[in-house]
Amino acid sequence: MFKNQMQSLDKHVNMFMDYMFGPRDPRVKGWLMLDSYLPTFLLTFFYLITIWLGTKYMKEKPVFSLRIHLIIYNLGVMLLSLYIFIELVLASWEGRYNLQCQNLHSANDADIRVAKVLWWYYFSKAIEFMDTFFFILRKKNSQITFLHVYHHATMFNIWWCVLNWIPCGQSFFGPTLNSFIHVLMYFYYGLSTIPSMQPYLWWKKYLTQAQLVRTNLL
Length of the chain: 218
DSSP string, 124-171: HHHHTHHHHHHHHHTT-GGG--HHHHHHHHHHHHHHHHHHHH-SSGGG
Q: How far apart are CA 181 and CA 202, in angstroms?
A: 17
151 is catalytic: yes
Q: How far apart are CA 104 and CA 118, in angstroms?
A: 14
CA 156 to chain centre: 6
Q: Which of 105, 151, 152, 182 is catalytic?
A: 151
Helices 146-165 and 38-58, axial angle in degrees (round to 10) = 170
Q: How would you write 193-208 as a 3-class SS string?
A: CCHHHHHHCCCHHHHH
Q: Cβ(95)–Cβ(111) under 8 Å?
A: yes
Q: Which residues are catalytic?
A: 151
